[in-house]
Amino acid sequence: MLFGKKFNLVGLDIGSRTIKAGEVVETKNGPTLKSFGSIDIPPGALDEGNIADPALVADSIRRLFKKFGIKESNSAVSIGGFSVIVKKITVQSMQEEELQDIINMEAEQYIPYDIADVNLDFQILGENEHNPNQMNVLLVAAKKEMINEYVQLIQMAKLNPCVIDFDAFALQNIYEKAYLPEAQSKGAESQDPTTREDEESIALIDIGARKTSLNILKDRSSVFMRNVSLGCGQINQKIMQMIECTPEEAEDLKFAPDPERISAEDLKEIISSVVADWCTEIRRALDFFYSTYPDDHVQKIILSGGGGNIPEFRELLAVEVSADVETINPFAGLYIDPKKFDSDYIQRMAPQAAICMGLALRKVDDK
């Protein structure tokens, strides 16, 4: 799903509550963070990936670029959630060019829409583990109508839409960059097989405002994906139910070290009840994964999104699923000029920056 020419790209993560933008360039210091920032958007402007108020969202994007001095107009944006269908399928072994010719026919049995109404993309994962004459293929489908809406939105913001990606792939991209630099620089096959982290089953879990996505990787490929309708907005809703406040005020109270309008005990109880529900749903998703892959176990979970900033969630999840849990740092491996960026802000925003930074690493001719 590619448009435009090959230039540096601004990664643009358009969420239901905030929009994040990031840009990476090569300098004498190596990969360097050129720009990063976020801006809140009014509630309801974008819901479950559907753009309810394009003019308002486009204006927010323009204000974001102006506020943080972002000059580059070539942009990469992602879509996700329940609007995108991702399936791992098995087909007869063939060359990529051959599969390109018949992918629509192969996809018809997996896509619950008219094939003429969707944009299809695929990635060959390799030989099928049970039949050497077949190969595994990752199939991705999104409605053309939705793709067009995002393209038009970016154009309304006076930007050039160069790449339309998928949230889960952007997260995988930044995970590999931040956690598997040796695999990228030397090639996975050159590593010591006893120390290769990418051979483990790793779960990337993104907890946004209204949805949580889970992507399990094995040998650097997605083997299981699941979306759940829960997120940080649940905490805000409970705060608003307890005290009379706006969604913006509830967001500030959620992470306030010493909240004034709600007791620390009440806030802790709200957060505890919500994250306990998150852990239950994640455990159910993992149990389903284990029923399909009984010999696998997720050794590590990497969190991103606003929920990654909640220590109690990380601790409870580690106990619930018996795995190491940590929060992603998408700025790892980048040179960050301390005169240009406030270190506290970068650290605080790191979990929420994962998708936009994964997009910022994309190139127009990527597959």
CB 254 within 8 A of CB 211: no
- DSSP per-residue codes, 163-202: EEEEHHHHHHHHHHHHH-HHHHHH-GGGS-TTT-GGGSEE
Q: pLDDT tens digits, residue range 231-272?
A: 999 999 999 999 988 888 888 888 777 778 889 899 999 999
Q: What are phi and psi for residue 17, nearest 5 degrees?
A: -120, -35
Q: Where are the domains of the chain?
A: 10-238+265-360
Instruction: Give the pTM.
Output: 0.87
**Strand extents, DSSP E, the chain:** 10-14, 18-27, 30-40, 46-47, 50-51, 74-79, 84-92, 118-127, 134-143, 160-166, 201-207, 212-218, 221-228, 298-304, 324-327
d(CA 166, CA 163): 10
User: Residues of 108-123 as b/e, b for ≥16 C-beta within 10 angstroms?
Assistant: eeebeeeeeebebbbe
Q: Write down the pLDDT at residue 126.
A: 87
C-alpha dist (Å) from residue 175 to 22, 78, 301, 353: 16, 16, 11, 12
Tokens of 223: 């083997």
d(CA 265, CA 313): 16
Residue 204 CA, chain-centre distance (Å), reads: 9
d(CA 23, CA 216): 27
Q: pLDDT tens digits, residue range 1-48?
A: 444 344 689 999 998 889 999 999 999 999 999 999 999 988 778 876
Domain 10-238+265-360 matching CATH 3.30.420.40: the answer reads yes
Burial class from Cβ neighbours inside 10 Å (0-12, 13-18, 19+) for residue 44 reads exposed
Whole-number average pLDDT of the chain: 88
- Sequence-distant (≥ 6) Cβ neighbours of residue 49 within 8 angstroms: 79, 80, 81, 82, 83, 146
CA-atom Rg of the chain in angstroms:
21
Amino acid at 131: N
* Residue located via tokens 């974008």: 46
pLDDT band (50, 70, 90) for residue 179: confident
Q: What are phi and psi for residue 145, nearest 5 degrees?
A: -60, -40
- Sequence-distant (≥ 6) Cβ neighbours of residue 268 within 8 angstroms: 312
Asked if pLDDT for residue 189 goes beyond 50, the answer is: no
Burial class from Cβ neighbours inside 10 Å (0-12, 13-18, 19+) for residue 318 reads middle
Q: For 2, which DSSP code? A: B
Q: Write down the pLDDT at residue 364.
A: 64
Q: pLDDT tens digits, residue range 283-333?
A: 999 999 999 889 899 999 999 999 998 999 999 999 999 999 999 999 998
Q: pLDDT tens digits, residue range 336-346?
A: 999 999 999 99
- DSSP per-residue codes, 138-151: EEEEEEHHHHHHHH
Residue 118 CA, chain-centre distance (Å), reads: 21
